[in-house]
Amino acid sequence: MSAERFRALSLGAGVQSTALLLMARDGLVAPFDLVIFADTGDEPATVYAHLERLERVAPIVRVSAGHLAATVGSSFVPVPLFTEGGGMGRRQCTQQFKLRPIRRRLRELGGPVDLALGISTDEVIRAKDSGLRWCRNTFPLLELGWARADCREYLDGAWPEPVPRSACVYCPLKSDREWLELRETAPADWRAAVDFDEAARPFGFVHRSRRPLADAVLRPEDGGQLALECEGMCGL
């Protein structure tokens, strides 16, 4: 353990946080005392397979606030669905299913924590303070001046396996290109997304067209904001 502050990595299992984990292995950043992943229960199968491979590099503590998809049976869905009125619901999934379980586990350590987040220079706007006296967010990629492309270049040489984009299978922030890839390459995940969309109908739609996902017209030229990952701190 670090002499003064406990060093933890919030692992979202996407490009940036995966790079940080491997950079610690390779001595490019200081080692972490704890690597923590908040599991919503609804990551793509490729992400869970990726996590299993990363566990050969370092132990990963998995925490959970329950199954996010189960919220469709309640009076409020924390996923930011597209509503019939033309707006979008509140995004509470990050706070409830990522931040809370991570902070709950870190609080059990009993001391001050430096929590490393995989935020790169091309999304510096997401770099924010934790707002907690005992937990300080740190941004090793920003300190190094690394962008997402730098992480990709590093991973090309440091990791022989593909690194998937981290986001729940039904995340409404997907581009059409991502929806198409899910449908064409991961039928079980696509079915789970369609099922969630149908169950969530009283609250809205997962596709921006505000049509059932199964019937939505998906345009491959729509690449969206592919840089955004759910790196344990989605939306921050």
Segment 1-44, tens digit of pLDDT: 445 899 999 999 999 999 999 999 999 999 999 999 999 999 99
DSSP symbol at 207: S
pLDDT at site 229: 47
Asked if residue 65 belongs to a domain, the reply is yes
Asked if residue 236 belongs to a domain, the reply is no
Q: pLDDT over 90 for what percent of the chain?
A: 83
Asked if residue 208 belongs to a domain, the reply is no
Number of compact structural domains in the chain: 1
SS3 at position 180:
helix
Report how far apart, in Å, the C-alpha atoms of 100 and of each of 10, 13, 104, 142, 223 are: 12, 18, 6, 24, 31
CATH code for the domain in which residue 160 is found: 3.40.50.620
Residue found under tokens 């490009």: 15
How confident is residue 223, by pLDDT bands cut at 50, 70 and 90?
low
Asked if residue 83 belongs to a domain, the reply is yes
As to burial, measured by CB atoms within 10 angstroms (0-12 exposed, 13-18 middle, 19+ buried), residue 30 is middle
Question: Is pLDDT of 226 > 60?
Answer: no
Asked if residue 203 belongs to a domain, the reply is no
Phi, psi of 110 (to 5 degrees): 80, 15
pLDDT at site 73: 83
Asked if residue 112 belongs to a domain, the reply is yes
Q: Whole-model pTM?
A: 0.90
Distance CA 230, CA 42 (A): 12
Query: What is the sign, positive or negative, of the torsion defined by CA atoms of 157, 120, 207, 189?
Result: positive
Which among 113, 157, 159 has a CA at the least distance from the CA of 136?
113
Distance CA 166, CA 196 (A): 18
Asked if residue 73 belongs to a domain, the reply is yes
Asked if residue 121 belongs to a domain, the reply is yes
Phi, psi of 215 (to 5 degrees): -110, 0
What is the residue-averaged pLDDT of the chain?
91
The CA radius of gyration of the chain, in Å to the nearest whole number, is 18
User: For 67-91, how does the pLDDT look when each residue is reduced to its tens digit (9 = 90+)?
Assistant: 999 999 888 899 999 998 888 988 8
Question: Is pLDDT of 236 > 50?
Answer: no
Tell me the mean pLDDT in the region 102-117: 96
Contacts of 230 (CB under 8 A, 6+ apart): 12, 14, 94, 98, 166, 167, 168, 171
Displacement of CA 185 from its chain's centroid (Å)? 20
Contact criterion met (CB below 8 Å) for 33 and 8? yes
User: For 158-203, how does the pLDDT look when each residue is reduced to its tens digit (9 = 90+)?
Assistant: 999 999 988 999 999 999 999 999 999 999 999 999 999 999 999 9
User: For 140-149, how does the pLDDT look when each residue is reduced to its tens digit (9 = 90+)?
Assistant: 999 999 999 9
Question: Is pLDDT of 53 > 80?
Answer: yes
Q: Which domain holds residue 136?
A: 6-169
